[in-house]
Amino acid sequence: MPLKQKTTISVIKADVGSLVGHHITHPRQLEVARQHLEQARKESLIVDFHVTHCGDDLELIMSHQRGENDKEIHELAWNTFIDVTEKVSRPLKLYAAGQDLLSDAFSGNVKGMGPGAAELEFEERVSDPLVVFLADKTAPGAWNLPLYKIFADPFNTVGLVIDPSLHSGFTFEVLDTHEGLSIKLKCPEEIYDLLALIGDPNRYVISKISRNDGLPAAAASTSKLSMIAGRYVGKDDPVCIVRAQNGLPAVGEVLEPFASPHLVPGWMRGSHHGPLMPVSYSDSQNKCTRFDGPPRVVALGFQIANASLVGPADLFDDPAFDKARAKANDLADYLRLHGPFVPHRLGPEEMEYTTLTGVLEKLKNRFQKIQ
Ligand code: F6R
Ligand code: MG
Ligand code: MG
């Protein structure tokens, strides 16, 4: 098959076990993953890569020219996760070794098999800045609010108002994760319809965004582990790719929604709402300890140069985000006061996929009719 000339960024991730509960990856896991991707680079399957983590999730950021959903790229990621599990997670008895690998054999695409994937194919501009967001202890709908602000809210992205090249707006592709359907909504015309859906991030998840002239702008991972496994196996801990500048939102507009930590589902046992805290990827911030959280997001900036990844820049490593972190901690304190009560604990629909069902089952026969 002839190689395409466009560049593709594939961010594929999985939790394949971690150090001391569900808290952080082990450095040896990252080393083994790097060896795999280095070999793939030597064989020219990929052009470049960056291996990192967000909390307990192993993140493979790869650049290549094979397009989205390429079988060999997905197989490379799958085999890497298997190898890290066999060579590191199992021998070291890391916690929940191989957790997200829900299938016995690779079936052509990691989607539906446990790992999460966000992929974006595009023609490189003269200079192409791009931000990769990585989250831990939350679900794919966590990106709905920030993506809306970045690409549709002029109070966040002033470029929508004052830059003619953004002025015509963006089209959002939204998945209905319950029905397995997708819809495209053109904004600003259909902003209210968009909000009617994505305001319920448990069901509706933004998967792709393009500028209204077709320019690819963003992609997010959408896989829900509980929907694949039919039970709770850890949160999905989604990833997202956003291109920036020169006719797209500026990097500062892309980061701005995270200055106000919004509440997302996830955190302890995937069963609680908590604030999404923007953190540096340095080990001092990028780990989930308090009540297994609170949920976190890391932002890595890259310049894409002939399909190479120049960077990363650690974009939340800025005192300007200290207040967001402090606010997230205040919100965490407040929510924790509620203990096992909603709205800290998730509502019944989302709790269906947790271990709570086992407890309710046990009580079922003890209920008596009210006289
Ligand atoms: C959340 C998460 C953790 C675990 C919790 C219980 O995504 O991974 O909060 O749910 O530590 O884990 P187990 O049941 O493995 O003891
Ligand atoms: Mg884990
Ligand atoms: Mg995780």
pLDDT tens string 90-145:
999 999 999 999 888 898 999 889 999 999 999 999 999 999 999 999 999 999 99
| Angstrom distance (rounded) from CA 171 to CA 248 | 13
For 233, phi then psi, to 5°, come to: -130, 30
- For a ligand 1 pocket test, name from 264, 268, 290 the mutation site with the most ligand atoms within 8 angstroms of its C-beta: 268
pLDDT tens string 309-358:
999 999 999 999 999 999 999 999 999 999 999 999 999 888 888 889 99
Using the atom order of ligand 1, give the atom closest to the CA of residue 15. 8
Determine the distance separating the centroid of ligand 3 and the alpha carbon of 15, expressed in angstroms: 6
66 near 34, Cβ under 8 Å? no
18 near 95, Cβ under 8 Å? yes
In this structure, the strands spanning 296-305 and 277-279 are parallel
31 near 58, Cβ under 8 Å? no
Is 235 known to be catalytic?
A: yes
218 near 149, Cβ under 8 Å? no
The whole-number pLDDT of residue 281 equals 96
Cα R_g (the chain), whole angstroms: 20
Residue 24: beta bridge partners?
A: 19
In this structure, the strands spanning 116-122 and 7-14 are antiparallel
The whole-number pLDDT of residue 157 equals 98
Is 100 known to be catalytic?
A: no
Using the atom order of ligand 1, give the atom closest to the CA of residue 95. 15
**Token pair listed for 75:** 């197989």
Expressed in percent and rounded to 5, the helix, strand and coil fractions of the chain are: 30, 30, 40
| Angstrom distance (rounded) from CA 123 to CA 181 | 28
Q: Whose CA is nearest to atom 5 of ligand 1?
A: 269
pLDDT tens string 179-189:
989 999 999 99
pLDDT at 1 over 80: no
- Count Cβ atoms within 10 A of the Cβ of residue 336 and give its class: 0-12 exposed, 13-18 middle, 19 or more buried: middle
Pocket of ligand 1 (CB under 6 A): 21-22, 96, 137, 234-235, 268-270, 292
Place of tokens 């939350």: 138
Q: Whose CA is nearest to atom 15 of ligand 1?
A: 96
Q: How high is the mean pLDDT of the chain?
A: 95
- For a ligand 1 pocket test, name from 16, 19, 22 the mutation site with the most ligand atoms within 8 angstroms of its C-beta: 22
- What is the H or E stretch that residue 164 is in? none
The whole-number pLDDT of residue 109 equals 94
Using the atom order of ligand 1, give the atom closest to the CA of residue 237. 7
The whole-number pLDDT of residue 225 equals 79
What is the number of the ligand closest to the CA of 235?
1
More confident residue, 265 or 4: 265
Please report, rounded to a whole number, the percentage of residues in the chain having pLDDT higher than 70.
99
Using the atom order of ligand 1, give the atom closest to the CA of residue 355. 14
- For a ligand 1 pocket test, name from 56, 225, 269 the mutation site with the most ligand atoms within 8 angstroms of its C-beta: 269
Cα 293–295–298 angle (5° rounding)? 120
Place of tokens 């197989």: 75
| Angstrom distance (rounded) from CA 11 to CA 295 | 19
What is the number of the ligand closest to the CA of 267?
1
**Token pair listed for 152:** 């549709």
Q: Which of 148, 204, 232, 281 is catalytic?
A: 232
27 near 20, Cβ under 8 Å? no
Is 136 known to be catalytic?
A: no
pLDDT tens string 60-105:
999 999 999 999 999 999 999 999 999 999 999 999 999 999 888 8
The whole-number pLDDT of residue 291 equals 98
| Angstrom distance (rounded) from CA 39 to CA 26 | 21
Q: Whose CA is nearest to atom 12 of ligand 1?
A: 269
123 near 8, Cβ under 8 Å? no
Determine the distance separating the centroid of ligand 1 and the alpha carbon of 34, expressed in angstroms: 27
The whole-number pLDDT of residue 94 equals 98
**Token pair listed for 57:** 């999730």
Q: Whose CA is nearest to atom 8 of ligand 1?
A: 234
Ion ligand 3 — residues with CB under 5 Å?
15, 56-57, 136, 237
Confidence of residue 3 (pLDDT cuts 50, 70, 90): very low
Say if pTM beats, i.e. exceeds, 0.85.
yes
**Token pair listed for 229:** 């496994």
Beta strands, E only, the chain: 7-14, 48-54, 57-64, 116-122, 128-136, 170-176, 181-186, 204-211, 216-220, 239-243, 263-266, 272-275, 277-279, 296-305, 308-314
Indicate the Cα dihedral angle 66, 68, 71, 77, nearest 10°: 100
Q: Which amino acid is at 265?
A: P
| Angstrom distance (rounded) from CA 283 to CA 293 | 14
pLDDT tens string 348-362:
888 888 889 999 999
Q: How many helices (H) and strands (E) does the chain have?
A: 10, 15
Determine the distance separating the centroid of ligand 1 and the alpha carbon of 226, expressed in angstroms: 14
